[in-house]
Structure 1
């Protein structure tokens, strides 16, 4: 009884529950181009899966490192010797905890230096073996001494061929390590948010009828989670290969959220796994997905706390996990993703809404 009262006061009336989905009006008809370019995914019958990136980004070793950092900070705060880390109190507008998953990109300046680092490092490491191999082949074909070839070819041509990415790598590394003020800058605000506690999905509007340019007011396009449908869109990459991206689109209004920035576009199974994860994360009739990033928050979410109490879940399941066991967990998750059965499921949302297309 106490848990029921806590859930009632903690979650908003609009919170999403898979066992209490209300009846809704018929969906708006999609344009033919949307029907042609996107595949709608079914609601319900989810599996306990998530994109493997969600595990990799919060490894147990990372959790332990963060725990040690927090302990050291608390000790220094008690002694009055704590010195805040650079940008510790800067709001970068992103959140991902037991209440909300809010996404934002870095500012264009920060993205420039990050991309320059990736381009420089990746380009140099990719071109270096090619350059060395071609240098050796040219020496054999032209029957030139290695010294003459180095002067005529390697220094003259390959210095530019390798020098540009090497210079980019070195410059970006220098700036990002020693001059954070030149590259660390928050973006203007978040892009979207899905909120477990309220059951609402929000797309932040930076047009807002000109209000953002006038006074910096960010508009919010908000609707209940159950009014969105998920779609997989197939897009070509730079090489012309087909890549899959997950979207969710509101059934009645022009609110579309693109999840492409969460991980590189790829196989459709990853998109299906993300869709299952989003449903599980938002469903307050079920505990939070059992992922490393949520372990420190599980006791704060009433449904999850009650589930963990009943199942006697180890509260340090992830943080005390050794590397070998984590690799097995990661391997098992990838196996579940490969075998996901999304396209064999009925769309349970069709019980509550009439799809006109």
Structure 2
């Protein structure tokens, strides 16, 4: 169902999705926190271990939703290339559905991850190997190993176009993506056979703290697992080098699902703002420019990312578990994080076209997926 809200920026009527009765409204039913199925009641190995770990709070923690995804991939958010996975999953912005990649136990999806990791490793490893040979052994050593460079580049091209061929015929698995539905309040997780989805309320999932140590370096990686209180169904992400990054990602998910608060003002959520009732009303009230992140330059984005990251990594994790407690220890979220458009000097009248730099255009894009 659609309702219409008049946006004061240009006096045009924009379609806004109406929330379902099941939409998550920030409620925190303690039942799902107090009745978590323990190890003996679960069948899957990962679910057994996650159920025993500490639980992240449901309330606001850092107050910042600008996680590493924003800083690393904002070009994709703006140019539209991030929509590729949405088209494969048949996701439209007006549906208020956010697809996030989760660690998978499915064999095909694990093999795909290994393939991507190996491809990226070869792309960076081969030039580094050749450069080391040049520095340590000179031009002669470099030329002795030149075949490695040519065969390596040829292999990267074959890998790239094989991936694209499989992708064209829809043979690249997508079941590792977990879909968060703000309109219905549900989390959509693919079943084991990848023939359909489980639809379970976001409220029934608990965010369990998780720390994984790299077996080679011993360095810790932080993250969390959104685990259903009873079923062995989960979304898991443990790619953060610090606990603050994991907290920001959890903040992002909670913000996207809680319909009582407007969406965070980040590039990743720009495409949803005009379709979300709470956010559209909020933007109209505060005079926020429509499609702001599509009309502001890259330099300003980096400014917001720097301010967000500086604030995030000053969060007193040893003294506070919630934003309320952190504020009592002097923690502060700068206004630019909540109202970035108020500090932007130039907002274009049209969408800004972003182009990859010379290095990326001629040396990275030709060899990467």
Rounded Cα–Cα distance in structure 2 between residues aligned with 1:327 and 1:202: 33
Runs of 5+ consecutive residues of structure 1 not aligned to the other structure: 70-86, 137-145, 349-357
What SS does the corresponding residue of 1:126 show, helix, strand or coil? helix
After superposition, the Cα gap between the structure-2 partners of 1:288 and 1:88, relative to the gap in structure 1 and judged at 3 Å, is closer
Rounded Cα–Cα distance in structure 1 between residues aligned with 2:85 and 2:322: 47
Rounded Cα–Cα distance in structure 2 between residues aligned with 1:227 and 1:115: 33
TM-score, normalising length from structure 1?
0.67
Rounded Cα–Cα distance in structure 1 between residues aligned with 2:290 and 2:253: 23
Rounded Cα–Cα distance in structure 2 between residues aligned with 1:252 and 1:113: 33
Q: Which moved more, 1:247-256 or 1:115-124?
A: 115-124
> Offset of 1:183 from its aligned partner?
5.4
Matches within 5 A, 1:157-306: 158-159=145-146, 162=149, 165-172=152-159, 175=161, 180-181=164-165, 184-186=168-170, 187-191=172-176, 192-207=178-193, 217-218=195-196, 220-240=197-217, 241-260=219-238, 264-306=239-281
Q: Is the 8 A contact 1:236 1:243 kept in 2?
A: yes
Q: Please list the CA deviations of residues 299-318 of structure 1 after superposition, one character each: whole Å capped at 9, or x if unmatched.
A: 21111111111111111422
What SS does the corresponding residue of 2:122 show, helix, strand or coil? helix
Matches within 5 A, 1:18-37: 18=26, 20-22=27-29, 24=31, 26-31=34-39, 34=49
Q: Is the 8 A contact 1:93 1:103 kept in 2?
A: no
After superposition, the Cα gap between the structure-2 partners of 1:286 and 1:342, relative to the gap in structure 1 and judged at 3 Å, is farther
Matches within 5 A, 1:1-357: 10-18=18-26, 20-22=27-29, 24=31, 26-31=34-39, 34=49, 38-46=53-61, 47-59=63-75, 63=78, 65-66=79-80, 91-93=87-89, 95=91, 97=93, 99-103=96-100, 114-115=116-117, 117-136=119-138, 150=140, 156=144, 158-159=145-146, 162=149, 165-172=152-159, 175=161, 180-181=164-165, 184-186=168-170, 187-191=172-176, 192-207=178-193, 217-218=195-196, 220-240=197-217, 241-260=219-238, 264-341=239-316, 344-345=320-321
After superposition, the Cα gap between the structure-2 partners of 1:316 and 1:28, relative to the gap in structure 1 and judged at 3 Å, is closer
Q: Which residue of 2 aligns with 1:84?
A: none
Q: Please list the CA deviations of residues 219-251 of structure 1 after superposition, one character each: whole Å capped at 9, or x if unmatched.
A: x33321122111222222252322123211112
Q: Is the 8 A contact 1:288 1:304 kept in 2?
A: yes
- What RMSD, in angstroms, separates the aligned Cα atoms of the two structures? 3.9
Q: Is the 8 A contact 1:45 1:345 kept in 2?
A: no
After superposition, the Cα gap between the structure-2 partners of 1:115 and 1:164, relative to the gap in structure 1 and judged at 3 Å, is farther
After superposition, the Cα gap between the structure-2 partners of 1:39 and 1:160, relative to the gap in structure 1 and judged at 3 Å, is farther
TM-score, normalising length from structure 2?
0.66
Rounded Cα–Cα distance in structure 1 between residues aligned with 2:206 and 2:317: 14
Q: Which moved more, 1:113-122 or 1:325-334?
A: 113-122
Q: Please list the CA deviations of residues 79-131 of structure 1 after superposition, one character each: whole Å capped at 9, or x if unmatched.
A: xxxxxxxx989952274846111246897887676445423320122212211
Higher relative contact order (CA 8 A, sep 6+): 1
The structure with the greater share of residues assigned to helix is 1
After superposition, the Cα gap between the structure-2 partners of 1:55 and 1:95, relative to the gap in structure 1 and judged at 3 Å, is farther
> Offset of 1:203 from its aligned partner?
1.8
Runs of 5+ consecutive residues of structure 2 not aligned to the other structure: 6-15, 41-47, 103-107, 325-369
Rounded Cα–Cα distance in structure 1 between residues aligned with 2:270 and 2:147: 49
| Length, aligned pairs only | 291
